Structure 1
Amino acid sequence: MVTEKIIGVLGGLGPWATVDLFEKILRLTPAQRDQDHLRIIIDNNPKIPDRSPAILGSGKDPTPALVATAVNLERAGADFIVIPCNTAHAFYGAIAAAVSIPVLHIMEEVASAARQLVPGLLRVGILATRATTAAGLYHRAFERIGVRVLAPDDAGQEKVTRVIYGVKAGRHGAEGTRQVRPVADDLIARGAQAIVLGCTELPFVLRPSDVTVPLLDSNLILAQAAVRVAMRRAEAASTR
């Protein structure tokens, strides 16, 4: 019997980003009928404390809630876990150590995809939460492949932060695009050969047509990785 791996989504960080990941997985799955789609277990847990204040030193530690949610996914039958929240990966070590199933790492997936999608990449611009940047999550992932990370200046970062929290509040319109696009343009002017949407809320307000270099959507890349891993078992079985 050909089987597929069950995807576990540690979601709610925030809920709109979880919806976006789910939709992208559906669109990436080669399905002609309901039964062709992948099984996905989603724990949409918006009660997990905000990751950014915790990293920046002023908020409650989200580690226990993140770990508990991951453990719940494993107990529910997930074969591996994805986390559609970049900032939450500051707590990746604790999450991965708490379960016996793989946990995909969004920064590693993005860095790997960037190397394939942008030949000769030397500098990449990152749009993310202040906490993601402060924690050096993308800096480490890209430094391992010899790519320099460019981050917004303080004024640009403040705009990005406002837009991210606006998306969390349901504001997905043109005003967010108007705020974020100049920040991306500034990174490009400083030499960025690609822009990473390093927050899973940002795909709601910035699209490839909005910038003049490749736009790397971390949620899309995570969805692609999830589908690839989930279907790997089925593909291997079908070739026997």
Structure 2
Amino acid sequence: MRKLGMIGGMSWISTETYYRRINERVRREIEPMASAPLLIESLDYRQLWGLLDEGDWSRAGDILEESAKRLADAGAQGLILCANSMHRLYDRLTDAVSIPVLHIADAVGAKMKADGATKNAALIGTRNVMTESFYRQRLVAQGIDLLPPDMSFAEQSDRIIYEQLMQGRAPRDAERYYRTVITQLEQAGAKAIVLACTELAIVVDVDANVLPIYDSARIHCNAAVDWMMDG
């Protein structure tokens, strides 16, 4: 298998999910005693959240760029960034290293296209992922038709993600909230839901909804394992 570098810590909850899912898939595909060859750098998220302007994002890009270089220098043959929102800085990573960086939205779009789930998809995640072009354009490029972002729940969703899920808390009211959101999106015409936040599967049952739910973290992990085993 190829050796994969993981830029994590955004949050550590998400990074733990990536580590577990990648290794569970490797074990299923190869043998029970197999484990994935990984290099993990878990960053201090205090330096990477609450980014308000381009200056903040530029400083975050410096941090991620240096992390990517360290992992490549340590022997990683490819990289993944274990967070949706930080893919706003994807081009900084690809410019910094000569090894491939697997984009999370590309993986999600490819999976949806393969399933034929290309019409009226809705994104759920942090505000910047739902509204900015860096993520949406990647899905559209794969032929995914996206509904306009519903800003009526953006503030509450941000609060739950940053104040609860990223801190390892999964209260029942968060589960009820996202169940309501998904119902409202379905009523608005959504035919598929993208969980464009790597922690959302903590409170959204991906396999127990009427609409198809595309968990970006799960799909990204599977794409990473496919790449590792293709070496």
* Contact 1:111–1:142 (Cα < 8 Å) also in 2: yes
**Aligned twin of 2:65:** 67
The separation in 2 between residues aligned to 1:103 and 1:58, in whole angstroms, is 24
Q: How does 1:159-238 map to 2 (within 5 A)?
A: 159-165=156-162, 166-233=164-231
Q: Which amino acid aligns with 1:32?
A: E
The separation in 2 between residues aligned to 1:212 and 1:87, in whole angstroms, is 27
Q: Which amino acid aligns with 2:140?
A: E
Which residue of the other structure, out of 110, 121, 126, is the alignment partner of 1:124?
A: 121
Aligned-pair CA distance for 1:32: 3.0
Q: 1:5 to 1:201 in 2, by over 3 A?
A: same
- 1:41 aligns to 2:33 (yes or no): no
The separation in 2 between residues aligned to 1:180 and 1:121, in whole angstroms, is 22
The separation in 1 between residues aligned to 2:125 and 2:158, in whole angstroms, is 8
Q: Which amino acid aligns with 1:28?
A: R
Q: Which amino acid aligns with 1:140?
A: Q
**Aligned twin of 1:115:** 113
The separation in 2 between residues aligned to 1:226 and 1:209, in whole angstroms, is 21
The separation in 1 between residues aligned to 2:37 and 2:77, in whole angstroms, is 10
Structure 2 unmatched runs, 5+: none
SS of equivalent to 1:208: coil
* Contact 1:52–1:129 (Cα < 8 Å) also in 2: no
Aligned-pair CA distance for 1:53: 2.2
Aligned-pair CA distance for 1:202: 0.6
- 1:9 aligns to 2:11 (yes or no): no
* Contact 1:125–1:188 (Cα < 8 Å) also in 2: no
Q: Which amino acid aligns with 1:24?
A: R
TM-score by length of 2: 0.91
Q: Which amino acid aligns with 1:131?
A: N
Sequence identity percentage: 27
Computed over aligned residues only, the root mean square deviation of the Cα atoms, in angstroms, reads 1.9
1:176-231 superposed Cα distances (whole Å, 9 cap, x missing partner): 21122211221111111111000111111111245311110100111001100001
The count of residues paired between Structure 1 and Structure 2 equals 227
The separation in 2 between residues aligned to 1:132 and 1:120, in whole angstroms, is 20
Q: Which amino acid aligns with 1:182?
A: T
* Contact 2:179–2:204 (Cα < 8 Å) also in 1: yes
Structure 1 unmatched runs, 5+: 234-240
SS of equivalent to 1:62: helix
- 1:32 aligns to 2:31 (yes or no): yes
**Aligned twin of 1:53:** 51
The separation in 2 between residues aligned to 1:51 and 1:26, in whole angstroms, is 28
SS of equivalent to 1:10: strand
Q: Which amino acid aligns with 2:41?
A: D
* Contact 2:131–2:149 (Cα < 8 Å) also in 1: no
The separation in 1 between residues aligned to 2:203 and 2:149, in whole angstroms, is 17
1:97-137 superposed Cα distances (whole Å, 9 cap, x missing partner): 101110001111100111112x2521101001101123223
Q: 1:14 to 1:120 in 2, by over 3 A?
A: closer
Aligned-pair CA distance for 1:149: 1.5
- 1:137 aligns to 2:167 (yes or no): no
